[in-house]
Amino acid sequence: MVLLALMQANSAVLDITANCAAVDDAARTAAAAGAQLLLTPELFPVGYAPGRLRTDFDPATLPALREALAGIARRHNIALVYSLPAVTPAGEWHISATLVDESGDELLSYGKVHLFGPDERAAFASAAAAPGVVEFHGLKTSLVICYDIEFPESARAAAVRGAELLLVPTALAGGFDAVPKVLVRARALENQLTVAYANHTGVEGSYDFHGGSIVAGPDGAVLAEAGPGAELLFAELGEPSNAAADPAEGAGSADRADDPEAAVAYLRDRRPDIYRSWDV
């Protein structure tokens, strides 16, 4: 079993000290509750304000900031997902997410592929690499960021690479309630994996965030769901696919996909050869 914690909070734009202190406090509380991993929202350590980040944030501070976040993981013995700007050797700015283990060692990184709105597109460039997958406490785990989850291809790319848990740092402003309530659950069901989606709350710059963080299981069921305010959300995930599962308690996501009596086997029944001829 894996206990997952999601941080839903208000970030102070470019107040890195305050934001890291908030992550530290959430990590301390989550670890004390027995959680193995804390998922934080998109760009939380620097605040979500793409234009101000591009003009006022110094990327030379990124190595020290990454080390500070890794130190939080080490100090509280809990894995951590954080999201920051990243600058490529060619000088492109991306939105990134990183998973570090409880020792602060990097397990996985990802660059956001789908940028949302004119502010993001003016400040950042789209990444292109597919989601990677790593083993985390017996669960094959992957990352995408915010708007990525609204595209079926992103979650499917993680699923066909074997992901059982998809972690999604997000910055979803008010007015898009269908994303956590409908699309996140659909992505989980159609790919037969667990999706954890952690959002901001409150006002940051010109953005008003309404929370609504959610964890959806591989059958699309809501495992945990936050309200509009600051909250530390917990979800207990089931047995990994390589472990024996008690049918009364439910099987892991891969078990569901492999057992036609347990669920519709969407991954097994895909027809990628046909889809290629459709030019979709």
In sequence order, what DSSP letters do the residues of 67-105 get, joined into one string?
A: HHHHHHHHHHT-EEEEEEEEE-TTS-EEEEEEEE-TTS-
pTM here is 0.91
Domain 2-278 fold is Nitrilase/N-carbamoyl-D-aminoacid amidohydrolase (3.60.110)
Checking if the pLDDT of 253 tops 60, the result is: no
Note the pLDDT tens digit of each residue in 188-203: 999 999 999 999 999 9
Cβ atoms of 110 and 131 within 8 Å: the answer is: yes
The pLDDT, as a whole number, for residue 239 is 60
167: closest CA among 184, 182, 190?
184
Note the pLDDT tens digit of each residue in 9-60: 999 999 999 999 999 999 999 999 999 999 999 999 999 999 999 999 999 9
Where in the sequence numbering do the catalytic residues fall?
42, 112, 146
3-class secondary-structure state, position 146: helix
Query: pLDDT grade, residue 238 (50/70/90)?
Result: confident
